[in-house]
Amino acid sequence: MHAYEKIRAEMLHRITRQIWPAGGNLPHEEQLAAEFGVARGTIRRAMADLVQQGIIVRRRKAGSKVASRIAHSSTLTIPIVRHEIIDSGADYGYELLSAEKGGNALDKTGHFKGAPLFHICCLHLSDGRPYQFEDRLINLDAVPDAAETNFDNKSPNEWLVEKVPYSAVGTVLRAEAADSTQARHLKIRKGYPLFVIERQTHLDILPVTLVKMSHPADLFSITTQTGVFD
């Protein structure tokens, strides 16, 4: 175990046990360096992870303090659906439902500002049961290759991840009731709860793709763990 890890663990201990109470100031880097008998850089290294997690807050001249309300923040990872299914031990199945080229008529949100679009709907299955309904718009200005691509056997999700660079991603998570289209494809009744992930991807300012992924509530959840250093 490295020095900075021991120090980080000790600092976390002092915070969780309220030896350093929430909202209170910590000693300066120099003082801590002296206390632990290390260089200032090592103290900074130890604190870096705690800052990253929002456990301590640092400001020039004002000093470092324990966050008064430690945010319950955690990193969530949304995997490629095929890997998710295979990793769970199930068989993965894929089905293309529709692939239709069209203009801005498809762009109901105005997100793509009149660019030529490719609209694809497909289904991902886990052990033969519908797992995710994917409804995607691709900006053909940003991804001209997509127009020539056949998504019969490969999902646009994976194709894009492999082929297309992006620089920014926005994600929305929410629940909603299945409409008739979603219900038909996911083989559930209309109104059944869905876990929906919407994601839009940009390359600099150019919108690349907008996707809505719907899952039957009973098949899908997202789990995260945080805050364990050992």
Partner DNA sequence: AGGGCTAATATGTCTATACATAATCGTCAT
Partner DNA sequence: ATGACGATTATGTATAGACATATTAGCCCT
Site residues for DNA per CB under 7 A: 2-4, 26, 28-30, 37-42, 44-45, 47, 51, 58-64
Q: How far is the CB of 105 from a second copy (least distance, A)?
A: 26
The residues, any chain, with a CB within 8 Å of residue 230's CB and separated by 6 or more, are 9
Measured in degrees and rounded to the nearest 5, phi and psi for residue 126 equal -115, 115
Q: How far is the CB of 106 from a second copy (least distance, A)?
A: 23
CA–CA gap between residue 64 and residue 20 (Å, rounded): 11
Which of 161, 179, 187, 190 forms a contact with a second copy (CB under 8 A)? 161
Which of 109, 153, 180, 225 forms a contact with a second copy (CB under 8 A)? 225
Per-residue interface string for the shown chain with a second copy, residues 64-83, x marking contact by CB under 8 A: -----xxxxxxxxxxxx---
Instruction: Please tell me whether residue 162 binds a second copy under the rule CB under 8 A.
Output: yes
| Residue 4 interacts with, from DNA, a second copy, none (CB under 5-8 Å by kind) | DNA
CA–CA gap between residue 168 and residue 166 (Å, rounded): 6
C-alpha dihedral (161, 98, 146, 206), degrees to nearest 10: -70
Binding-site size for a second copy (CB under 8 A) equals 56
Extract the tokens encoding 154: 């490969």
Place of tokens 């923040």: 73
